[in-house]
Structures are given as structure tokens and as C-alpha cells.
Structure 1
């Protein structure tokens, strides 16, 4: 037996993820943990009625100020049935999108690290809300979601058990799932 037969094959880029660079990044962060401290930002602007636009002016990460490669913004509004003009999705729908996106991104990364070729990942997510709380009509009704359900469909070149493990690890490592499940301190102050 030679040394070559004992070595594991090098991991390759897969599913649109540059696995060698991802692994190198993990190594650097392991050696210098403060690189992992990030602060993300979003700046909201009221447009009219319930319509607003939120831009993402950059973030602090990897120990420096950084910019996205282009400007991003999302618009939000309420549907007409809720006295809006339906110029965008509701803020709570954006929250559902954030959860679906975070879990899906994690699946892509984890599958790639494990060298599992993905064929499809689809998520369906729903959140239940009783608007009587927001409207101030029922002091016992919660303002936010009372429950969120997400179904993940995943197909790839691995047994179903391994695909399920990938989904489970993505949920366990999801920042958005963590915030929704465990809460996070939020402060609001009147500026200027």
C-alpha cells in the first residue's frame, strides 16, 4: 500500500460552492476567531402609506468594512385588504423568505462540503398570524406569528438518510432559525 492510497481525495467545487475556498476560510477563521464577527445593516425608508424600501448599505465583516458587489433593496407594503397598495410583499413574508433562504443556503454549503451533488431543493413555508393583536383589538393576541411550518424537498446523489442529515445540520446552523427560535434582544430608539 502506498501513501497515495491512504489519502482522501481532494474535495472539489460542487453545487456552485467553491469547496476548497470554503474549507480554507474555515481554517483561517479557526486560527483567528475574531474574523467571524460580522455586523449586517439595513436602512429603511418610508415611501407612502404602508409602502417602504429597505436598502443594504454594506456590512462589517472579516475585520473590515465591506460592500456588496452591487446595491440591493427590497420594497415592502401591505396588500389592499390590509389598507396598503400591494407594492411589495409584507414584512412578515420577508421574514419567511429570510428563513427559507437561510436554510436553503445552508443545504447548498453543507451538501457541497460533504460532496453530495444536489439536483433540487425546494422549500414551502407558512406562518400563521392573528391580526387582532397588531390592530389592537385583542390584547391577548400575539402581534407576530403564532406558528411557522416549513417543508423541505431535497433531491441529490445520496441516500435519503444522508440528505435528511444535511437538512438537519442546515437547520441547526441557520442564523435565521436561531433568531426565530431563541429570540434576540432588540432595542429601538428615536434618532435625530
Structure 2
């Protein structure tokens, strides 16, 4: 697992849709306006708020896997040290990516909602992981992260106080942050063919 930070501008893209086309603040506001209509519909009929999100996939390669999520293809692998081919990010890197990407989305949505201007958002997460738990070398060691730190860097014309107000709103409403910070009921099922 890599611990070297790469500047965002130097991250190679692997998706034909990336990098995103440049967007002005006015264009972003127009796109986010559709969210407002959706929110009004949910406020009028709370039964419209319940969603089910599904991801499905299968094993590929030595320890890799390929998934379908929302019409997109995701590839997951491990580095050679963990038996993989290093073709893609590993599951814990995807977990941190999910956290950071949800933070970015939530910052954009809540900035719009609160009337706070954001020129840029960059995010970094570090997850402390002790692989002895995963490898079964010490059952007293948790197999997941022992801790996670998230750093979000924003720029724009607002005061630091306004950006702290935005951070409070984001931390209170970010779905993936909630998933990491709170216990979520989880059921696993094995189907043997």
C-alpha cells in the first residue's frame, strides 16, 4: 500500500470520462438546482427518500475483482505483496476514496445550500491499518482501520468562520462519513452453488 501523496494534478486518469470538463460556479449552481427539486419532492412525500444502492461483482485475477456500480465498471486489486497484480486500488483504498469523494460531494451540496462560495476542494485521508488482523496473525488486532484522519482543504472568498460552518454541516450530513463513524447494521450471506 502506497503512503506517498501524489498531487491531485498528477494523478493519472483511468476513466474516459475523467478529467471532468471545467465548470463555472454558475454552471455548478444550475446542476445543483436539480437537487433542490428532488429535495422538495422528498419533503412533500418522505416515502421517496428511501433508496437501495447496489454494487455487484466477481473475482478476477489472483485476488482482484471487477464490479458494476451505477452503470460504471470498477476494478479492485491488491499490490504484489498481498498476492495481487497491482492493477488498481485495493479495497481499503477504495473505502477511503468513498469517504473522500462523499466529502467532496457533500461540501459542494452544502456550500450551495448555505450560500458559501468554494473555489477549490482537495481532500486527503490516511487510514492506520495493522494487517496482522487481516492475516489472522493476532486475533486481538482489528482487521479494519484502527483510525482514519481526513484533511479537507478549501479555498474561496469566504471567511474561515463560514468554512467552519460548512465543515460542521458536511460532518453532520455526509453519508459515508456517517458509515465510518457509526455502527451500521450489516448482514452477510453465503450462497453455495
In the superposition, the TM-score normalised over structure 2's length comes to 0.81
- Preserved CA contact (<8 Å) 2:65 2:75: yes
Counterpart Cα distance in 1 of 2:140 and 2:188 = 23
Shift of 1:137: 0.6
RMSD: 1.6
Deviations 1:56-85 (A, max 9, x none): 2x5xxxxxxxxxxxx301111110122211
Aligned with 1:190: secondary structure?
coil
- Preserved CA contact (<8 Å) 1:15 1:112: no
Aligned with 1:185: secondary structure?
coil
Structure with greater Cα Rg: 1
Counterpart Cα distance in 2 of 1:14 and 1:101 = 22
Written as runs of structure 1 = structure 2, the 5 A alignment for 1:110-189 is 110-189=110-189
- Preserved CA contact (<8 Å) 1:78 1:90: yes
The gaps in structure 2 that reach 5 residues or longer are 1-24
Higher strand share: 1
Q: Check if 1:16 corresponds to 2:28.
A: yes
Counterpart Cα distance in 2 of 1:17 and 1:47 = 41
Q: Would the alpha carbon gap of residues 163 and 154 (structure 1) be closer, same or farther in structure 2, given more than 3 Å must change?
A: same
Aligned with 1:39: secondary structure?
coil
- Preserved CA contact (<8 Å) 2:128 2:148: yes
The gaps in structure 1 that reach 5 residues or longer are 1-12, 59-70
Shift of 1:174: 0.8
Counterpart Cα distance in 1 of 2:132 and 2:124 = 25
Aligned with 1:94: secondary structure?
helix
